[in-house]
Structures are given as structure tokens and as C-alpha cells.
Chain A
């Protein structure tokens, strides 16, 4: 059982702050690191993996520092986001090289076991250069597992995978977590994270925006104020009905559009057609004004 502890960790590049005062503990089980692109997820994983020094704060693995300490790699397996590998060797040779670099007692058996784990035994005698993106991803995964690490760090592992490969990897991560390993992966897609993560850490613009299980995060995301813009045959009457019913917190009438703000998403979507019908108003257009993931994240940070 291993844990990564981040204490008031910041990282900046010149004037740009990539990670800002993050404190979190990553324990056994699957943790999803969720955030939009550019939120600092890769920077954070690099610091956890000992590839980047924090500008301030500390990153520790089971009490020991990770920076400038290659010994941590006996316990840590890392799946980098970059796709490049040693293209000129075969998958089997590459796995064997990784096992030998770890100084394992039986590198041949370890390499074989890792290849079996990711279902890459059959194509392993072909050069890596001939592999598809998904196969490369699996070989990357195998190199991270070859020494049976207690901690697994994966940077955007589902990127570029087809649905079948995605399910396969999710299944593998679940099995690894069930064995008591600490698994951390990053993603910018909420659905991906909530499917397998026991615990979610949300990172937005370098800040630690939220933390908890997916139900809590989902609730935070759906309970935020929603904005809709509506065009109808009589905006004024519809607005009055929505306010009177308590289905909207605020309405703004501009030229030909009605802007609605509501904090109760469920109530609003049920009330709208009913009220429109009752007041004899025809709805011409209803669209969410601000449904992008970025705006959801921005709300979490501002909260």
C-alpha cells in the first residue's frame, strides 16, 4: 500500500503558474485527475513521477522525496503521454530491456507476464514502428507494469483509444486497483473518469478545484447555475410565468431573446414546456447558453 502526498505544491515556468498550491493525497484505488486541457495535469503528474521539481512545496512517496531519487522507480510505474518509444526494436525486446533496466531477477519472465497482461504476446515479435496507436499504448502500459509497481501514474491513457481498447484498459486498471495498488490517471473527460475512478481530483487553471467521489463532483457540476437562451412567440409572458413558478432565478429580456438563469436544472426543464403550454406561448428556440466543460470547470474554481 503506497501513497503519494503533495503538500502545498506549486510549479511555475517564468511568469506562468502551471500548478498553484495543490495539497492532496493519492492513496490505493483508482484516482482520476480531471481537468480541461492546460489545467496543469501533466505538470502535476511529472512532479509526482520525479521528472520535475516543484517550485514550492513537497511531493513525497511513502514519506520519501521523489525528486532526484531514481530509487522510487522500483515502486512507481509511469505511462507517459508522449507516444515515442524505441521504434527500431520489437515489443518483446523493448519489454525485456525495461525489465533488465529495473534489475529484475528474471527479466524474461517479467517481460512475458507484462505482455500477457496487456494482451500483446502475439504481435510482440514485430518492430514497435509497425504498431498501431492502440498497440503502442498497450506496450507503454506493459513497460509501466513490468516490475509489478505499487503505484501507477498514467497521463491521458485513454487518448486515441477506440472503445474496445478503452474498456480493456478500464478493466485492467480496475483489476490493478483491486490488488491494492495506487492508480492515478489524468483525463479531461468527465464520463471517462466517473466510469472507473473511486476518487476524483479536479484541477482547473493549476488550482485544486474539487475533490471527492464522482457523485459529489457530478452534483457540484449539475447544481451550478445554468443559463438558457429562449426565443418564443411572447418572451415577456413566458418570463413572468417562469419567475412566478420559481423555475428561474433570474430573467433578462433583450431584443427578441429571453435569457434565463436557474440553479435548479431539473425543475426548470420540467416547468418550461408545461408553463409555455399553459400560457399559450410557442417556444421557437431553447438552447443552453453555457454548457462547455470549461465553463463547468470555471464555475468549480470560482465557487
Chain B
């Protein structure tokens, strides 16, 4: 990790106008959670529906997309990354520093608000909060790492990431049986399901298409793989001016 790279990354990520979305989207979720509590009289099933579908299925991938493509993509696009690359700092350190900033931002602006929204909308002794908090944490790490890697690999990371987040994870991953097995959301739900009693998990719909072992293994493979690919690509990154 390099503190200077991390500082510049934080300035870049939070200094842009779109960083407002990082505040607006979680605020929207918490507002909806409050409405859900009021409308359903703090019913845990309704809370699970809001957090499981909207927060984990749509909001989390979008937040991770905003953050993951925001920590390195704009610098590659406009060429300013050259000021980091022309230093005697290993490219691995540069990427890991940026990834660390992205993951910390995901934790603060996405994972914690999602866990809080379960508590606000309705919970039974924070069981749902814990389960969905764990799922959001695991899925958040995977999504963010994937999107960071994607923005090193391609200039169209936002478009590709958006299609992936909305179509694959949001729609197909939720409903189509075959796709479910290769969805970050399902992998992250497996440990969450395990955390709850079988009756609660089934009753609230906190269920995964895969086992805990498969889920955790796949998450680890994806996170390490995406990180490794991103480092490899940054080592041989070709800058716009040279094309």
C-alpha cells in the first residue's frame, strides 16, 4: 500500500460530482426502509424483501460499479495515471492501494447502510441485519474488485459493468436457475443463509442456490482472479497518447 496513491485516489473519488450518488443512493435506501417499517409494521418478511431484492440485487452492484470504476478508470481515460506510473512504485502497489480505497468506500457507503436498512425496516434481534450485512460485505468485496479490474481492462467498463450488474446479477441471477449458480449475489447469500436458523432463512427468503463451500470458494476465486488480472494489465498498460 502507498499512502500517497491512496490519498490521491480518495480526492479523485470523492471530489467528482458523481460522488454525490454515493450519498444519495444509501439515503434513498434508508428512506425506503423507514417507509417499509411504517407500512408493514416492522414485519421481518417485508424487510427481507426490500433488502434482499432492492438493496442486494440492484443497489449494491450499482454502488460498487460507481466506486470500482471511479478509483482508477477516469485516470486511465484522461491519461493522468501517468503521474502514478512514472514513479519507482511497483504497479502492484498502485493497484492494491486503489483497491483498498475502493473497498473501504464500499464498506462505508454500501455495506453498512444495507445492514442498517434491514435493522430499520424490521428485524428480529438483528438476525436479518447480521445475515444481510455479511452477504453485502462479501458481495461488495467481489463486485468492487471485479469493477476495478474491469476499468483497468477496458475503457467501456461503466457500460459493461452496468449491463452485468443490472442484467446478469439483477435479473438473471435472481430468477434464471442456471445463471444463479454463477452469480456473486447467490455466492454471498450462501454464508448468510447458513448464519440463520433454517426456519428463519426459509421464512424470510434468505436462500442461496449454492452451498456455503461453493459460495465462499467462488467468491475467493473471483476476487483473487480479478485482482491478479488487474495487476497484470496495469503492468503493461498502454496509455492513450501512445496509440
Contacts and interface: CB of A to CB of B under 8 A. Distances in A.
Interface string B205-243: 000000000000000000000000000000111111111
B83 A85 contact: yes
Interface in A169-210: none
A85 B84 CA distance: 11
A72 to B, nearest CB: 8
Interface string A70-92: 11011010101110111011000
Given A51-B242, A68-B235, A86 B80 contact: yes
A100 interface: yes
Contacts of A84: 78-80
Interface residues of B, number: 30
Interface of A: 13, 42-43, 46, 49, 51-53, 68, 70-71, 73-74, 76, 78, 80-82, 84-86, 88-89, 94, 97-98, 100-103, 143, 155
A46 B242 contact: yes
B240 to A, nearest CB: 7
Contact of A70 (B79, B80, B91, B236): B91
A42 B88 CA distance: 22
A78 B82 contact: yes
B86 A97 contact: no
Interface stretch (B5-13, B32-40, B50-58, B124-132): B5-13
Contacts of A101: 2, 4-5, 83-84, 87, 89
A137 to B, nearest CB: 14
Interface of B is mostly: helix
Contacts of A43: 242
B235 A97 contact: no
Contact of A51 (B7, B83, B238): B238
Nearest to B243: A13
B85 interface: yes
B4 A97 contact: yes
B15 interface: yes
Contact of B239 (A46, A70, A71, A88): A46
Which 4 pairs, one residue from A and one from B, show the smallest C-beta to C-beta distance?
Answer: A84-B78, A82-B79, A46-B242, A88-B15
B175 to A, nearest CB: 41
Contacts of B91: 70
Nearest to A47: B242
B31 interface: no
B90 interface: yes
B78 A76 contact: no
